[in-house]
Structure 1
């Protein structure tokens, strides 16, 4: 078996840290990049502050036009960016390409939304004008993940830039080559230092976030990283937007087709090998259809494994974390009907796994797994499942499969999550934006409302000298 490693930090002879990336499919070397030094980070933030002052004065229409041009440049390099994604994260070619195209579309959307982002007129005295106006916050630090790196980065960067901010972007240390190439394509269109990309791990991110000249921080990633970022930004006063981990529940009611429920559960748990923030992480199924549902889901998982359809996990560290949770569940009484141990093929593969006999005390039911695992707990009725689904420290999203509108309405009202999906694990109209709850983050991390997060409101009262205060 090839020797595989998660991103490896080393030091050159001159003491500069380096980041080495291997392909999670084969273990082959992708490349080595030098991490940004303290001096380079200082230069990046100072350069962003200077550039932002000029960029903020650029008409919104011009900012939108340049962002639209940047989107077209990315569209010309879809295949190149998708290939880098495959090599660094192991994502399959179809999904990687779709992620880049989603990033292109996101830039186009913000290019249109930015110029019409505006304040409100206020009802004041008749002889004065009262209104609010949005202004850019200033220097934005954008810290993005590896599991959908282009789409997420384009959303945060696009919203920040079109509202007049300058961005210093730190892509995940698991896909730095992709992050650097994305940055170089954007900078080929935008003015100097409006967007800069720096390479490094958590230490680089911490130095960026904690800088007193930073005005806003946008982070998509783990909850532990998000909490650390919030603490650092609390000292500097920077505004923080973060979409973090989830432990999303799937609640399956009685009176449904077990085969359809199994297909929905498989989509939610196994898509992108479970490496999605809104993946199904725990399943609560009504006893009435539990046996048939479990049999159908196990058959789907077994076929995925037999056909080798799942992409690898991003690196050996992630595979070890997934397996640790699975083995903990097995040691505490769960049973693996399918999968349950690392794939023996070369690469960071983990099989689609179906666990039954799971209980609330198990780590796999309490923590985000981020792997292709469907842990199942059988419940006696809908109310028991609803209580169990809501008993969680995360609050990103949840899915409910039910034929009863009353149960759907109850779940919508009771589940403490930012997004709830009824009868479709990945459904949703464009433009929807939610506040994640609890350990899943804070603020609008996407959608039109992200423009508000990247802006700061000012109230204006404009009166003529000597005018009457009462109008």
Structure 2
């Protein structure tokens, strides 16, 4: 793991800016500071865009949309390929900003940047190939289904993987001929602004606009007339507010929101291997991944060695801090409430002294479904475990609840694997690996976790609308 920079080696404090019609600006109704979660030092100051800045952003996007939509798909793809190279070249800079704003270890942050560059390169190739269909009609007629850009896309992106997620939404939207208003998370604004600066380098003014701010800015943008798509990755509460706003404006919504992803550990598996998978799913990025393992159901036959191995893994698993103290307080509140309700802390579970927002990898046993740590998204390095008597019991519990993002099953039984992927009411099911997937894969969350495809060729479909065309010759006079 790369060693974080010392305070004397850190870049100077920066000031995030909006990008409005090709011009950078710090105007706004107020401002706030972002602190480094490792030590509480100042990263920079962020202006909060108000109604005036939102209106200016949408006006600039409106002016640019027609010309960008008429740009040849091959030209848009070539631009995106160049942008992918520039992001890759800036990987170290973007990774350091990510580390400073949200605490991700530097090597992990760099991996996220490179994943984002790879996504841009993928859409640079897929975009020009995105096509409609020709239909077989009458002999003298031509019938077409043509994909066209939707118009203005508001991309409201998260802090936990700010470059990779933004690259997915921006790449798919821009390559299909949409213009984008980017609203970064208030917890990771500077890295998103720097990414936008790199992407906007060769773009006409207004094709990519940036609005910095907090939740009030996002709410103004989501409710604004003139927005055709709101694409949001983040909390369920914010996603619900966006859905309510777009129900009034008619904008399309793409939502990847909270999850409560279960992990089922079946009888007959190697408990040490299962514990390694559980630790990776629960603790990677300090548990701050949309598809982190949030609750664990382990068969009684392997529970004792599994828990022992999981505790050992937790004590040696290297993580960075949580994104801020507000998040740490929320995570610890789930742990404390579970303990008060009868859960046992096997390791971790205490707020450390000192600056920053560190929290230890935590393993809880004796958890029940009435605990928030089992029924809601904790979004921290916490592995709550419930021992079950059978695979049927584990699967039934894993299927329960209002979220529908992802789930994992560890089993050596092929019948159990088949049952699991068919019955689990989630968008993504992983068997015998908590993370992984083929290139070009997409995800379609369900229930409280959102709606619409994220990533993959399917996201190009989401960013376009289909026009049906019937061409028939007029009779000769």
Q: TM-score range by the shorter chain?
A: over 0.9
For residues 109 and 87 of structure 2, what CA distance do their matches in structure 1 show? 14
Paired position in structure 1 for 2:363: 354
Contact kept, 8 Å, 2:405 with 2:427, in 1: the verdict is yes
Measured in 2, the distance between the counterparts of 1:192 and 1:344 equals 48
Asked whether 1:243 is paired with 2:252, we answer: no
Tell me if structure 2 keeps the 8 A contact 1:70–1:190: no
Structure 2 partner of 1:8? none
Runs of 4+ in 1 over 6 A off after TM superposition: none
Give SS of 1:400's match.
strand
Is 1:397 the counterpart of 2:406 in the alignment? yes
Following superposition, the deviation at residue 126 of structure 1 comes to 2.1
1:117-168 alpha-carbon deviations (Å, 9 max, x no partner): 0001112122211120000000110000000000000100110001111000
Contact 2:28–2:48, Cα closer than 8 Å, also in 1 = no
> How many corresponding residue pairs?
450
2:416 corresponds to which residue?
Answer: 407
Question: Which residue of structure 1 aligns with residue 158 of structure 2?
Answer: 145
Write out aligned runs for 1:62-461 (5 A): 62-304=75-317, 309-461=318-470
**Secondary structure, counterpart of 1:448 in structure 2:** helix
Give yes or no for contact 2:28–2:53 (8 Å, CA) kept in 1.
no
CA distance in 2, matches of 1:343, 1:127: 76
Q: Does 1:37 align with 2:50?
A: yes
Cα distance in 2 for partners of 1:171, 1:384 equals 41
Structure 1: tracts of 5 or more residues without a match: 1-13
Displacement of 1:37: 2.8
Aligned equivalents of 2:436, 2:122: Cα separation in 1: 20
Give the Cα separation in 1 of the matches to 2:337 and 2:369.
Answer: 13
- C-alpha distance in 1 between matches for 2:47 and 2:217: 12
Measure, in 1, the Cα distance between the counterparts of 2:457 and 2:150.
17
**Alpha-carbon distance in 2 for matches of 1:451, 1:15:** 33
- Measured in 2, the distance between the counterparts of 1:348 and 1:260 equals 30
Partner of 2:13: none
Secondary structure at the residue paired with 2:135? coil
Contact kept? 1:69, 1:189, Cα under 8 Å:
no
CA distance in 2, matches of 1:274, 1:405: 29
Where do 5+ consecutive residues of structure 2 fail to align? 1-26
Aligned residues of 2:28 and 2:50 also touching (Cα < 8 A): no
Cα deviation digits, residues 399-457 of structure 1 (max 9, x gap): 00011111011111111000000000002111121310101000002111000111000
Q: Distance in 2 between matches of 1:67 and 1:348?
A: 37
RMSD: 1.1
Cα distance in 1 between the residues matched to 2:55 and 2:460: 27
1:4 paired residue number: none
Do the aligned residues in 2 keep the contact of 1:179 with 1:197 (CA within 8 Å)? no
Q: TM-score, normalised by structure 2?
A: 0.93
CA contact (8 A) 2:158 2:184 kept: yes
Q: Report 1:17-56 matches (<5 A).
A: 17-56=30-69
Alpha-carbon offset, residue 15 of structure 1:
8.4
Deviations 1:58-96 (A, max 9, x none): 001001111111112212211111110000001100010
Q: 1:15 to 1:157 in 2, by over 3 A?
A: closer
